[in-house]
Amino acid sequence: MISSIAGFPAEVVITEVGPRDGLQSEPVFVPTAQKIELVQALLDAGLRRFEVTSFVSPRAVPQMQDAAEVMAAFRDRDDAHLTALVPNARGADAAIDSGVDAMVLFASASESHNRKNVNRSLAESLEGFSQIARLAEGTGVALQGAIATAFGCPFEGVVPVGAVVDQARAYRDLGMGHITLGDTTGMATPALVIERVEALAKAVPDVQIALHFHNTRGVGLACAYAGLALGVRHYESSIGGLGGCPFVPRATGNVPTEDLVYLMQESGVQTGTDLNRLIHAAQLAERIIGRELPGQVMKAGPRLQIAAMDSVRTAHG
Protein backbone atom coordinates (compact mmCIF):
# COMPACT_ATOMS: atom_id res chain seq x y z
CA MET A 1 0.00 0.00 0.00
CA ILE A 2 1.27 3.48 -0.91
CA SER A 3 1.66 5.83 2.07
CA SER A 4 -0.46 8.96 2.05
CA ILE A 5 1.35 12.18 1.18
CA ALA A 6 1.84 14.43 4.20
CA GLY A 7 -1.09 16.80 4.60
CA PHE A 8 -3.41 14.81 2.35
CA PRO A 9 -6.60 13.30 3.79
CA ALA A 10 -6.38 9.57 4.44
CA GLU A 11 -9.61 9.00 2.52
CA VAL A 12 -11.96 10.92 0.26
CA VAL A 13 -15.58 10.67 -0.82
CA ILE A 14 -16.36 10.70 -4.53
CA THR A 15 -19.78 11.54 -5.92
CA GLU A 16 -20.41 10.08 -9.37
CA VAL A 17 -22.24 12.60 -11.57
CA GLY A 18 -22.08 10.71 -14.87
CA PRO A 19 -25.72 9.53 -14.81
CA ARG A 20 -26.87 13.16 -14.64
CA ASP A 21 -24.16 15.63 -15.65
CA GLY A 22 -22.55 13.13 -17.99
CA LEU A 23 -25.66 12.08 -19.89
CA GLN A 24 -27.81 15.22 -19.86
CA SER A 25 -26.43 16.67 -23.10
CA GLU A 26 -26.32 13.46 -25.08
CA PRO A 27 -28.43 14.05 -28.21
CA VAL A 28 -29.68 10.45 -28.45
CA PHE A 29 -31.86 9.22 -25.59
CA VAL A 30 -30.12 6.58 -23.50
CA PRO A 31 -32.69 3.89 -22.62
CA THR A 32 -33.65 3.73 -18.96
CA ALA A 33 -32.43 0.15 -18.67
CA GLN A 34 -28.95 1.19 -19.81
CA LYS A 35 -28.83 4.07 -17.32
CA ILE A 36 -29.74 1.63 -14.57
CA GLU A 37 -27.11 -0.84 -15.81
CA LEU A 38 -24.46 1.89 -15.67
CA VAL A 39 -25.34 2.95 -12.13
CA GLN A 40 -25.32 -0.69 -11.04
CA ALA A 41 -21.83 -1.15 -12.54
CA LEU A 42 -20.65 1.90 -10.59
CA LEU A 43 -22.17 0.52 -7.40
CA ASP A 44 -20.38 -2.76 -8.06
CA ALA A 45 -17.13 -0.77 -8.31
CA GLY A 46 -17.66 0.59 -4.79
CA LEU A 47 -19.07 4.05 -5.44
CA ARG A 48 -21.84 4.95 -3.01
CA ARG A 49 -22.77 8.58 -3.73
CA PHE A 50 -24.49 9.54 -6.97
CA GLU A 51 -26.01 12.56 -8.63
CA VAL A 52 -28.25 10.11 -10.37
CA THR A 53 -30.65 12.30 -12.38
CA SER A 54 -32.39 15.68 -12.54
CA PHE A 55 -36.04 16.59 -12.22
CA VAL A 56 -36.30 19.10 -15.03
CA SER A 57 -38.77 19.71 -17.81
CA PRO A 58 -38.57 16.87 -20.38
CA ARG A 59 -38.87 19.53 -23.06
CA ALA A 60 -35.78 21.31 -21.74
CA VAL A 61 -33.69 18.18 -21.10
CA PRO A 62 -35.22 15.16 -22.89
CA GLN A 63 -32.46 12.87 -21.61
CA MET A 64 -33.77 13.20 -18.05
CA GLN A 65 -37.42 12.37 -18.83
CA ASP A 66 -37.08 9.04 -16.98
CA ALA A 67 -35.86 10.55 -13.71
CA ALA A 68 -38.52 8.86 -11.56
CA GLU A 69 -37.89 5.45 -13.16
CA VAL A 70 -34.12 5.64 -12.59
CA MET A 71 -34.66 6.70 -8.99
CA ALA A 72 -37.14 3.88 -8.42
CA ALA A 73 -34.49 1.31 -9.35
CA PHE A 74 -32.20 2.33 -6.46
CA ARG A 75 -34.28 4.19 -3.87
CA ASP A 76 -34.50 1.16 -1.57
CA ARG A 77 -30.75 0.58 -1.42
CA ASP A 78 -29.48 1.48 2.03
CA ASP A 79 -25.89 1.60 0.79
CA ALA A 80 -26.44 4.30 -1.86
CA HIS A 81 -26.79 8.05 -1.30
CA LEU A 82 -28.83 9.45 -4.20
CA THR A 83 -29.11 13.10 -5.12
CA ALA A 84 -30.88 14.82 -7.98
CA LEU A 85 -30.60 18.26 -9.51
CA VAL A 86 -33.77 20.35 -9.16
CA PRO A 87 -34.33 23.73 -10.85
CA ASN A 88 -37.64 24.80 -9.33
CA ALA A 89 -40.50 23.93 -6.95
CA ARG A 90 -42.15 21.55 -9.42
CA GLY A 91 -38.92 19.62 -9.76
CA ALA A 92 -38.50 19.63 -5.98
CA ASP A 93 -41.95 18.09 -5.46
CA ALA A 94 -41.13 15.33 -7.93
CA ALA A 95 -37.70 14.73 -6.41
CA ILE A 96 -39.11 14.46 -2.88
CA ASP A 97 -41.78 12.04 -4.08
CA SER A 98 -39.11 9.91 -5.77
CA GLY A 99 -37.24 9.31 -2.51
CA VAL A 100 -34.03 11.26 -3.10
CA ASP A 101 -31.65 11.64 -0.17
CA ALA A 102 -30.78 15.20 -1.16
CA MET A 103 -31.70 17.82 -3.73
CA VAL A 104 -28.93 19.76 -5.47
CA LEU A 105 -29.74 23.42 -6.11
CA PHE A 106 -27.48 25.16 -8.58
CA ALA A 107 -26.79 28.70 -9.69
CA SER A 108 -23.83 30.40 -11.30
CA ALA A 109 -21.55 32.87 -9.57
CA SER A 110 -21.56 34.69 -12.92
CA GLU A 111 -24.76 36.62 -13.67
CA SER A 112 -24.43 36.17 -17.43
CA HIS A 113 -23.87 32.42 -17.25
CA ASN A 114 -26.78 32.02 -14.85
CA ARG A 115 -29.04 33.67 -17.40
CA LYS A 116 -27.70 31.41 -20.15
CA ASN A 117 -27.90 28.28 -18.03
CA VAL A 118 -31.29 28.68 -16.32
CA ASN A 119 -32.72 31.85 -17.93
CA ARG A 120 -32.87 33.62 -14.56
CA SER A 121 -30.96 36.29 -12.71
CA LEU A 122 -28.95 35.09 -9.73
CA ALA A 123 -31.38 36.89 -7.41
CA GLU A 124 -34.30 35.07 -9.02
CA SER A 125 -32.51 31.74 -8.60
CA LEU A 126 -31.88 32.37 -4.90
CA GLU A 127 -35.51 33.37 -4.38
CA GLY A 128 -36.58 30.12 -6.01
CA PHE A 129 -34.25 28.22 -3.67
CA SER A 130 -36.05 29.76 -0.70
CA GLN A 131 -39.29 28.22 -1.95
CA ILE A 132 -37.62 24.82 -2.40
CA ALA A 133 -36.15 25.04 1.11
CA ARG A 134 -39.65 25.53 2.50
CA LEU A 135 -40.89 22.49 0.55
CA ALA A 136 -38.06 20.38 1.94
CA GLU A 137 -38.82 21.21 5.58
CA GLY A 138 -39.86 18.13 7.52
CA THR A 139 -39.35 15.73 4.60
CA GLY A 140 -35.96 14.40 5.64
CA VAL A 141 -34.56 15.43 2.24
CA ALA A 142 -31.36 17.45 2.56
CA LEU A 143 -30.36 20.45 0.44
CA GLN A 144 -26.99 20.72 -1.27
CA GLY A 145 -25.70 23.72 -3.19
CA ALA A 146 -23.67 23.89 -6.37
CA ILE A 147 -21.92 27.09 -7.43
CA ALA A 148 -21.38 26.97 -11.19
CA THR A 149 -18.64 29.05 -12.86
CA ALA A 150 -16.89 29.23 -9.49
CA PHE A 151 -13.50 29.64 -11.20
CA GLY A 152 -14.34 31.80 -14.22
CA CYS A 153 -16.97 32.73 -16.77
CA PRO A 154 -16.75 32.46 -20.58
CA PHE A 155 -18.76 35.67 -20.96
CA GLU A 156 -17.36 37.82 -18.13
CA GLY A 157 -13.90 36.34 -17.59
CA VAL A 158 -12.81 36.66 -13.98
CA VAL A 159 -15.36 35.70 -11.34
CA PRO A 160 -14.35 37.54 -8.13
CA VAL A 161 -13.72 35.32 -5.14
CA GLY A 162 -16.06 37.60 -3.20
CA ALA A 163 -18.95 36.62 -5.46
CA VAL A 164 -18.32 32.95 -4.71
CA VAL A 165 -18.13 33.64 -0.97
CA ASP A 166 -21.36 35.67 -1.03
CA GLN A 167 -23.18 32.86 -2.83
CA ALA A 168 -21.83 30.26 -0.40
CA ARG A 169 -23.11 32.35 2.51
CA ALA A 170 -26.52 32.62 0.87
CA TYR A 171 -26.61 28.85 0.40
CA ARG A 172 -25.54 28.27 4.02
CA ASP A 173 -28.29 30.58 5.24
CA LEU A 174 -30.83 28.47 3.29
CA GLY A 175 -29.71 25.37 5.17
CA MET A 176 -27.20 23.88 2.73
CA GLY A 177 -24.39 22.21 4.65
CA HIS A 178 -22.67 20.80 1.55
CA ILE A 179 -21.55 23.16 -1.24
CA THR A 180 -19.80 22.20 -4.45
CA LEU A 181 -17.51 24.58 -6.31
CA GLY A 182 -18.13 23.75 -9.95
CA ASP A 183 -15.54 24.33 -12.65
CA THR A 184 -18.33 24.53 -15.22
CA THR A 185 -16.13 26.26 -17.78
CA GLY A 186 -12.87 24.39 -17.29
CA MET A 187 -11.19 27.62 -16.17
CA ALA A 188 -9.95 26.39 -12.79
CA THR A 189 -6.24 26.39 -11.99
CA PRO A 190 -4.51 25.12 -8.85
CA ALA A 191 -3.90 28.72 -7.74
CA LEU A 192 -7.61 29.55 -8.05
CA VAL A 193 -8.54 26.38 -6.17
CA ILE A 194 -6.30 27.39 -3.28
CA GLU A 195 -7.68 30.95 -3.24
CA ARG A 196 -11.34 29.90 -3.27
CA VAL A 197 -11.16 26.95 -0.91
CA GLU A 198 -9.23 29.00 1.66
CA ALA A 199 -11.73 31.87 1.35
CA LEU A 200 -14.71 29.56 1.90
CA ALA A 201 -13.01 27.80 4.79
CA LYS A 202 -12.84 31.18 6.55
CA ALA A 203 -16.25 32.50 5.49
CA VAL A 204 -18.37 29.35 5.99
CA PRO A 205 -16.29 27.04 8.19
CA ASP A 206 -19.35 24.96 9.08
CA VAL A 207 -19.96 23.98 5.44
CA GLN A 208 -18.61 20.86 3.76
CA ILE A 209 -16.80 21.88 0.55
CA ALA A 210 -16.75 19.66 -2.53
CA LEU A 211 -14.82 20.18 -5.77
CA HIS A 212 -16.03 19.43 -9.29
CA PHE A 213 -13.56 19.89 -12.15
CA HIS A 214 -13.76 19.72 -15.91
CA ASN A 215 -10.72 18.85 -17.98
CA THR A 216 -11.18 21.48 -20.66
CA ARG A 217 -7.59 22.71 -20.50
CA GLY A 218 -5.96 19.53 -19.22
CA VAL A 219 -5.43 20.57 -15.59
CA GLY A 220 -8.45 18.97 -13.93
CA LEU A 221 -6.37 16.43 -12.01
CA ALA A 222 -3.82 19.10 -11.05
CA CYS A 223 -6.70 21.07 -9.53
CA ALA A 224 -7.86 17.98 -7.64
CA TYR A 225 -4.31 17.54 -6.35
CA ALA A 226 -4.40 21.12 -5.07
CA GLY A 227 -7.64 20.28 -3.30
CA LEU A 228 -6.02 17.27 -1.64
CA ALA A 229 -3.16 19.43 -0.40
CA LEU A 230 -5.77 21.67 1.26
CA GLY A 231 -7.40 18.68 2.94
CA VAL A 232 -10.60 18.72 0.84
CA ARG A 233 -12.31 15.34 1.20
CA HIS A 234 -15.25 15.58 -1.23
CA TYR A 235 -14.99 15.43 -5.04
CA GLU A 236 -17.32 14.96 -7.99
CA SER A 237 -16.43 13.26 -11.24
CA SER A 238 -17.99 11.53 -14.22
CA ILE A 239 -17.25 8.01 -15.44
CA GLY A 240 -15.16 7.99 -18.61
CA GLY A 241 -15.13 11.81 -18.66
CA LEU A 242 -18.74 12.04 -19.84
CA GLY A 243 -20.42 15.41 -19.92
CA GLY A 244 -19.70 19.09 -20.11
CA CYS A 245 -21.91 22.14 -19.80
CA PRO A 246 -23.99 22.77 -22.97
CA PHE A 247 -24.03 26.52 -22.20
CA VAL A 248 -20.26 27.00 -22.36
CA PRO A 249 -18.37 27.58 -25.63
CA ARG A 250 -15.79 24.88 -26.42
CA ALA A 251 -16.75 22.88 -23.32
CA THR A 252 -15.31 19.41 -22.85
CA GLY A 253 -16.04 16.67 -20.38
CA ASN A 254 -15.71 16.27 -16.65
CA VAL A 255 -12.65 14.79 -14.98
CA PRO A 256 -13.07 11.00 -15.44
CA THR A 257 -13.89 9.13 -12.25
CA GLU A 258 -11.41 6.36 -12.95
CA ASP A 259 -8.62 8.90 -13.61
CA LEU A 260 -9.43 10.71 -10.36
CA VAL A 261 -9.46 7.45 -8.41
CA TYR A 262 -6.12 6.48 -9.95
CA LEU A 263 -4.60 9.80 -8.80
CA MET A 264 -6.02 9.33 -5.31
CA GLN A 265 -4.84 5.75 -4.94
CA GLU A 266 -1.37 6.53 -6.25
CA SER A 267 -1.21 9.37 -3.70
CA GLY A 268 -2.04 7.00 -0.86
CA VAL A 269 -5.60 8.31 -0.47
CA GLN A 270 -8.34 5.72 -0.02
CA THR A 271 -11.52 5.96 -2.13
CA GLY A 272 -13.34 2.76 -1.24
CA THR A 273 -13.50 1.78 -4.89
CA ASP A 274 -12.11 -0.96 -7.12
CA LEU A 275 -10.18 0.69 -9.97
CA ASN A 276 -10.46 -2.31 -12.30
CA ARG A 277 -14.22 -2.37 -11.89
CA LEU A 278 -14.35 1.38 -12.51
CA ILE A 279 -12.45 0.81 -15.76
CA HIS A 280 -15.05 -1.78 -16.76
CA ALA A 281 -17.81 0.72 -15.93
CA ALA A 282 -16.09 3.36 -18.07
CA GLN A 283 -15.88 0.91 -20.95
CA LEU A 284 -19.58 0.14 -20.47
CA ALA A 285 -20.35 3.87 -20.63
CA GLU A 286 -18.37 4.09 -23.86
CA ARG A 287 -20.38 1.24 -25.38
CA ILE A 288 -23.66 2.80 -24.27
CA ILE A 289 -22.77 6.20 -25.75
CA GLY A 290 -21.29 4.67 -28.89
CA ARG A 291 -18.15 6.77 -29.18
CA GLU A 292 -14.70 7.04 -27.63
CA LEU A 293 -14.65 8.77 -24.24
CA PRO A 294 -11.71 10.91 -23.05
CA GLY A 295 -10.74 8.88 -19.96
CA GLN A 296 -7.08 7.84 -19.98
CA VAL A 297 -6.90 5.15 -17.31
CA MET A 298 -9.70 3.22 -19.02
CA LYS A 299 -7.35 2.91 -22.01
CA ALA A 300 -3.98 2.40 -20.29
CA GLY A 301 -5.07 0.44 -17.23
CA PRO A 302 -3.51 0.61 -13.75
CA ARG A 303 0.18 1.52 -13.42
CA LEU A 304 1.32 -1.96 -12.47
CA GLN A 305 -0.72 -3.85 -15.02
CA ILE A 306 1.81 -6.34 -16.37
CA ALA A 307 2.00 -7.18 -20.08
CA ALA A 308 3.43 -10.28 -21.71
CA MET A 309 6.79 -9.81 -23.41
CA ASP A 310 5.38 -11.03 -26.72
CA SER A 311 2.53 -8.50 -26.65
CA VAL A 312 4.75 -5.90 -28.34
CA ARG A 313 7.33 -6.22 -31.11
CA THR A 314 11.06 -6.25 -30.39
CA ALA A 315 13.20 -3.44 -31.82
CA HIS A 316 15.62 -4.30 -34.60
CA GLY A 317 18.87 -2.63 -35.57
Residue from 102, 184, 119, 198 nearest 151 by CA:
184
* From 64, 245, 261, 281, active-site residue: 245
Please return the burial class of 18, using the count of CB atoms within 10 Å of its CB with bins 0-12, 13-18 and 19+.
buried
Residue 292: strand, helix, or coil: coil
The answer to whether the Cα torsion of 75, 55, 209, 279 is positive or negative is positive
Contact status, residue 256 vs residue 221, Cβ threshold 8 Å:
no
d(CA 6, CA 316): 45
Contact status, residue 247 vs residue 282, Cβ threshold 8 Å:
no
Is 153 noted as a catalytic residue in this protein? no
Amino acid at 106: F
d(CA 234, CA 31): 30
Concatenated DSSP letters for 132-199? HHHHHTTTT-EEEEEEETTT-BTTTB---HHHHHHHHHHHHHTT--EEEEE-TTS---HHHHHHHHHH
Where in the sequence numbering do the catalytic residues fall?
245
